Chain A
Amino acid sequence: MNYTDIFSPDKLFGTGSDSSNPIMWIIWIVPIILFVFYGQRIQLMVTSGEINKSITKLQKYKEETRKELLDYLQKSKMSSDIASKIDRFLEYFTIMPVDIDPNGIMPKIKHLLRSRESYTRNQVTLLAENLTHLEASKIQNILEVVTSLNLLHKLVRHLFLTAKKQNNFPLILPLQMMIPFIMEQAEALKGAVSALKAGQPIGDGIGPMVVGKMMLKSEKKSIGLETVYAESEFEGRTLYLLKAEGPAATVGRPGDAVEMLVSEKKPNVIIMVDAGLKLEGETSGTIAHGFGAAIGGIGTDRFQIEEIATKHNIPVYAIVIKQSIKEAITLMTKEIADKANEVESQVYVTIKENTKPGQAVIIVGVGNTLGVPQ
């Protein structure tokens, strides 16, 4: 073989008639062998790099929000050793009840969550002296944000390190698919802190905002923990307007309150106004009507409302204002705030269409009522 012309372009790229060039052979064969035997490992390395970046970002979010919480707490008269107390909060966990036999699981979940909630509330009030109810609720919400970010960071890191330790590419694939959604949630959580600190209404507060405005001129009565209702009248119908007690950062206890109101006032219709997650492509602030209990969370309040409505044969109508996860937990956008009056008029239309004069209606404004009084 003549080795003097192996570097000629014709020989190198196989454009000539002779395809026996050894350099050309190495260029094509070596990568094929490499990808056949090590392809998965190379892919694992590339994917690992991307996930690693997300983990670093999650850690940064966690640390930043923790620092923001500590700075916020510095404003109040602090009890000593606050940082270690906060760090202990971040590591709290909840063991969900056994669900092999799901019968009767809802009261157990409710009891568990209530216990956790009241414990956190009590602990937060001990963090600083003379903490107002509003301030305590804001701190509790920021604490929940930091805890969620801490959990997200730990979970993603665990799945990533397990896959790396086992050198298991299929194990990393679900994580790679989930990472954009996790990051979207983490960014939303991080963005929520500034609104929580400033006491500004968040997107989820559109339900309480509409109902709060409707009950402005009526006398407010307390019903359940951090929940209020007012009695009003509209074209011969009695309205029972219900929402969490603002302007604190709370969702109240709508399940308990609806149960009490139904037992006492025997309403004919329940209307629930809430923020709803929009699908990709849907416009933020779109108002949608539906049936059933429009309420998020783990499901205990929804279960309670569904139970009582079914028992008394009361139809439940839902009006939701569509928004993204980020819009729901960060400062309310203009598009959503502008819809408040339209939602209010649609509530009245729903009342007129579904009830007769002399009947009673419960209207529930569901959501976090931060910055929304009544």
Chain B
Amino acid sequence: MFFKKEKPVIAFTVETCSSCKKEIKRKFREGDCLFASGEQCDACKIPTNIEKIFGQTIE
């Protein structure tokens, strides 16, 4: 009742396609850096940009 169990925080990377604005959220990988080029957008076939890196608690 008085003890709060700490929830694990998982780091995520959000890549955005500059053309279709589609956002892809995936788990953070070592070497990920903000504004760097990410994976290729499936629809536009151009590299996405890393827009955000953040942590989210897992319930």
Contacts and interface: CB of A to CB of B under 8 A. Distances in A.
Nearest to A332: B54
A105 B31 CA distance: 42
B47 to A, nearest CB: 15
Interface string A314-333: 00000000000000001111
B53 A332 contact: yes
B54 A334 contact: yes
A199 B11 CA distance: 11
A332 B11 CA distance: 9
B43 to A, nearest CB: 22
Interface string A187-204: 000000001001111000
A334 B34 CA distance: 14
Given A198-B28, A200-B11, A331 B34 contact: no
A212 B35 contact: yes
Contacts of B56: 333-334
Interface string A139-150: 000000000000
Contacts of B30: 198
A373 B36 contact: yes
Interface size class of B (residues with CB under 8 A): 10 to 19
B35 A213 contact: yes
B53 A216 contact: no
A336 interface: yes
Given A198-B30, A200-B11, A331-B11, A337 B53 contact: yes
A199 B33 contact: yes
A209 B55 contact: no
A372 to B, nearest CB: 5
Pick the most buried of B9, B12, B28, B53: most chain A CB atoms within 10 A of its CB. B53
B26 interface: no
A373 B34 contact: yes
Contacts of B12: 334
Pick the most buried of A198, A340, A373, A374: most chain B CB atoms within 10 A of its CB. A198
Nearest to A187: B6
A197 to B, nearest CB: 10
A371 B55 contact: no
Contact of B54 (A199, A213, A336): A336
A209 B34 contact: yes
Contact of B34 (A195, A198, A371): A371
A330 B35 CA distance: 20
Interface in B12-53: 12, 14, 28, 30, 33-36, 52-53
B33 A371 contact: yes
B54 A337 contact: yes
Contact of B53 (A201, A212, A213, A330): A201
Given A199-B33, A200-B11, A373-B36, 10 more contacts: A198-B11, A200-B28, A201-B54, A331-B55, A334-B52, A336-B54, A337-B53, A338-B52, A371-B33, A373-B33
Interface of A: 195, 198-201, 209, 212-213, 216, 247, 330-334, 336-338, 340, 371-374
Q: Please provide the 5 A-B residue pairs with the shortest distance between their CB atoms, ordered closest to farther.
A: A331-B55, A337-B54, A337-B52, A334-B54, A332-B54
